[in-house]
């Protein structure tokens, strides 16, 4: 076991349970005698470079537990992707502070950061154990059955569409809800878990794993509207045409990109508005509404899966245990072992880093505009206990007297 300090950091988009992982890693680290201090970096790798560090050994267990229950990265986050000079700066700080264990909680971009830092550490012959702790609402990490953060975001999306369906039933029309998910449709597909009755929405679900054809979309909306007098659509922000061009870029005047070269899809209502306008114009339906679920999906306070909470805590704990008892870098991965149970493994960073998992074919209905029961079986246990339910009045019709 390496003696020295532990450094924990959080990267990428916040989730509802990312602090569970941080607190799991911090509290577990504090149990080990070889750990001198447990530091937290403010705003991910940028905090390391800037030497903005917090001493988490001086934080009370009680406050750590309260922070664990609080959504969004308590240490702050960053979108920075370290290159070689950036990593050399990281090393200077890690060396200066005698950090020997580096835990980075994040998605595929962050796991790639961990991989680069571990490689640079090896090149520099600096004795550092680098561990990636999984986190992403997109659920797009390789090797993992699913990733912490996704179940809570999925629960938010399911509950949102459960309510949207009830609202749309009361005041019928076409509703289009735009859900986060650049390349993976898991979160958009989660909207299906809000359905109870056969005629409940979302009636149509579009994920980025399939080509989005505007004419087929319009035909499906028309058909649903004619059958039910209304239509609720869940659509991923990442839908694209057959050439791979995101539907949103047809509209956006300027496409803002981040340091990773990602197109900025969130934080704008443009895609929903474009689709709503198209439905209004082409189908002549008057009441067409679009919402973009936006940042609430990952940061809403008060809609968390208890299963997600405990798994996020465990990957943080396991990260420390793997780092201490195994002599290698790695990524903690989640593996399903029952209906419902999971176990954790210590996987190779190269198997996870920088790669993107998408929805398997068996989760997407052949028509490409719905999910399958296999997906429902996959997702339901992740949503946790106490999921709200919806009820209807029974159809005891009063005989018409005037009979018009």
The yes or no reply on residue 261 touching a copy of itself (CB under 8 A) is no
- What token pair was written down for 342? 């999971």
The yes or no reply on residue 167 touching a copy of itself (CB under 8 A) is yes
The yes or no reply on residue 78 touching a copy of itself (CB under 8 A) is yes
The yes or no reply on residue 83 touching a copy of itself (CB under 8 A) is no
Size of the site for a copy of itself (CB under 8 A): 87
Point out which span in 50-58, 115-123, 131-139, 307-315 binds a copy of itself (CB under 8 A): 50-58
* 129 is annotated as contributing to ligand binding: no
User: What is d(CA 329, CA 115) in angstroms, rounded to the nearest whole number?
Assistant: 8
Element (H, E) at 403: none
Q: Name which of 131, 188, 200 is nearest 162 in CA terms.
A: 200
User: Considering beta carbons, is residue 197 or 340 the nearer one to a copy of itself?
Assistant: 197
Computed from CA positions of residues 167, 196, 190, 203, in that sequence, does the dihedral angle turn out positive or negative?
negative
- Which residue from 20, 21, 29, 77 is in contact with a copy of itself, where contact means CB under 8 A? 77
Q: Name which of 272, 277, 266, 217 is nearest 241 in CA terms.
A: 217
Burial category of 130 from C-beta neighbours within 10 Å (exposed 0-12, middle 13-18, buried 19 and up): buried
User: Considering beta carbons, is residue 243 or 401 the nearer one to a copy of itself?
Assistant: 401
Point out which span in 102-110, 167-175, 183-191, 220-228 binds a copy of itself (CB under 8 A): 167-175
The yes or no reply on residue 54 touching a copy of itself (CB under 8 A) is yes
* 324 is annotated as contributing to ligand binding: no
Q: Name which of 357, 324, 371, 390 is nearest 189 in CA terms.
A: 371
- Which residue from 3, 31, 51, 373 is in contact with a copy of itself, where contact means CB under 8 A? 51
In the window 9-28, what residues touch a copy of itself (CB under 8 A)? Answer: 10, 13-14
CB distance 139 to 184 below 8 Å: yes
* 394 is annotated as contributing to ligand binding: no
CA angle 359, 360, 366 (to 5 degrees): 100
Min. distance of Cβ 30 from a copy of itself in angstroms?
A: 14
Q: Give the position of tokens 């809800």.
A: 177
Element (H, E) at 234: strand 231-236
The yes or no reply on residue 316 touching a copy of itself (CB under 8 A) is no
Q: Give the position of tokens 């949503």.
A: 383
In the window 320-359, what residues touch a copy of itself (CB under 8 A)? Answer: none
CA angle 290, 293, 294 (to 5 degrees): 120
The yes or no reply on residue 136 touching a copy of itself (CB under 8 A) is no
Min. distance of Cβ 125 from a copy of itself in angstroms?
A: 20
User: Considering beta carbons, is residue 134 or 330 the nearer one to a copy of itself?
Assistant: 134
The yes or no reply on residue 290 touching a copy of itself (CB under 8 A) is yes
Query: What's the farthest any 2 CA atoms get from each other in the chain?
Result: 90
The yes or no reply on residue 273 touching a copy of itself (CB under 8 A) is yes
The yes or no reply on residue 87 touching a copy of itself (CB under 8 A) is no
User: What is d(CA 239, CA 205) in angstroms, rounded to the nearest whole number?
Assistant: 11
User: Considering beta carbons, is residue 103 or 344 the nearer one to a copy of itself?
Assistant: 103
80 counts as catalytic: no
User: What is d(CA 174, CA 190) in angstroms, rounded to the nearest whole number?
Assistant: 19
- Which residue from 100, 115, 132, 298 is in contact with a copy of itself, where contact means CB under 8 A? 298
Min. distance of Cβ 360 from a copy of itself in angstroms?
A: 29
CB distance 270 to 251 below 8 Å: yes
The yes or no reply on residue 385 touching a copy of itself (CB under 8 A) is no
- Which residue from 2, 30, 79, 282 is in contact with a copy of itself, where contact means CB under 8 A? 79
User: Considering beta carbons, is residue 74 or 342 the nearer one to a copy of itself?
Assistant: 74
Element (H, E) at 21: helix 18-29
Show the beta-strand stretches assigned E in 11-153.
Answer: 35-41, 53-55, 99-106, 129-134
* 108 is annotated as contributing to ligand binding: yes
User: What is d(CA 222, CA 233) in angstroms, rounded to the nearest whole number?
Assistant: 12
Q: Which of 112, 138, 140, 200 is catalytic?
A: 138
Bind-site residues: 13, 108, 136-138, 180-182, 237, 295-298
Query: What amino acid positions are annotated as catalytic residues?
Result: 138
């Amino acid at each position: 076991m390496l003696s020295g300090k532990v450094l924990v950091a959080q990267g990428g988009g916040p989730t509802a349970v990312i602090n569970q992982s941080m607190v799991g890693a911090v509290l577990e680290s504090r149990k080990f005698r070889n750990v001198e201090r447990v530091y937290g970096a403010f705003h991910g790798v940028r905090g390391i470079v800037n030497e903005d560090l917090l001493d988490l050994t001086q934080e009370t267990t009680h406050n750590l537990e309260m922070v664990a229950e609080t959504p969004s990265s308590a240490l702050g986050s960053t979108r920075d992707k370290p290159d070689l000079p950036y990593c050399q700066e990281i090393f200077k700080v890690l060396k200066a502070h005698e950090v020997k264990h580096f835990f980075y909680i994040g998605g595929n971009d962050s796991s790639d950061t961990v991989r680069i830092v571990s490689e640079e550490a090896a090149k520099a012959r600096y004795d550092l154990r680098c561990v990636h702790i999984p986190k992403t609402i997109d659920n797009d990490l390789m090797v993992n059955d699913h990733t912490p953060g996704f179940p809570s975001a999925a629960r938010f999306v399911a509950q949102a569409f459960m309510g949207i369906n009830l609202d749309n039933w009361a005041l019928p029309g076409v509703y289009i809800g735009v859900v986060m998910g650049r390349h993976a449709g898991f979160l958009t597909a989660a909207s299906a878990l809000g359905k109870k009755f056969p005629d409940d929405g979302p009636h149509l679900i579009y994920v980025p794993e399939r080509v989005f054809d505007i004419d087929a979309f319009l035909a499906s909306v028309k058909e649903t509207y004619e059958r039910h007098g209304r239509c609720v659509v869940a659509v991923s922000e990442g839908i694209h045409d057959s050439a791979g061009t995101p539907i949103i870029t047809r509209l956006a005047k300027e496409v803002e990109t981040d340091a990773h070269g990602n197109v900025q899809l969130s934080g704008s209502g443009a895609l929903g508005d474009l689709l709503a306008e198209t439905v209004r114009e082409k189908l002549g339906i008057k009441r067409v509404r679009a919402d973009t679920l936006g940042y609430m999906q990952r940061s809403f306070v008060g809609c968390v899966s208890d299963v997600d909470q405990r798994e996020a805590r465990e990957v943080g704990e396991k990260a420390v245990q793997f780092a201490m008892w195994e002599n290698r870098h790695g990524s903690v991965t989640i593996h399903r072992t029952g209906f419902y149970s999971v176990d954790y493994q210590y996987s190779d960073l190269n198997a996870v880093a920088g790669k993107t998992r998408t929805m398997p074919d068996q989760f997407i209905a052949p028509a490409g505009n719905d999910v399958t029961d296999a997906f429902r079986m996959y997702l339901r246990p992740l949503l946790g206990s106490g999921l709200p339910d919806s009820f209807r009045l029974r159809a005891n019709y009063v005989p018409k007297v005037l009979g018009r």
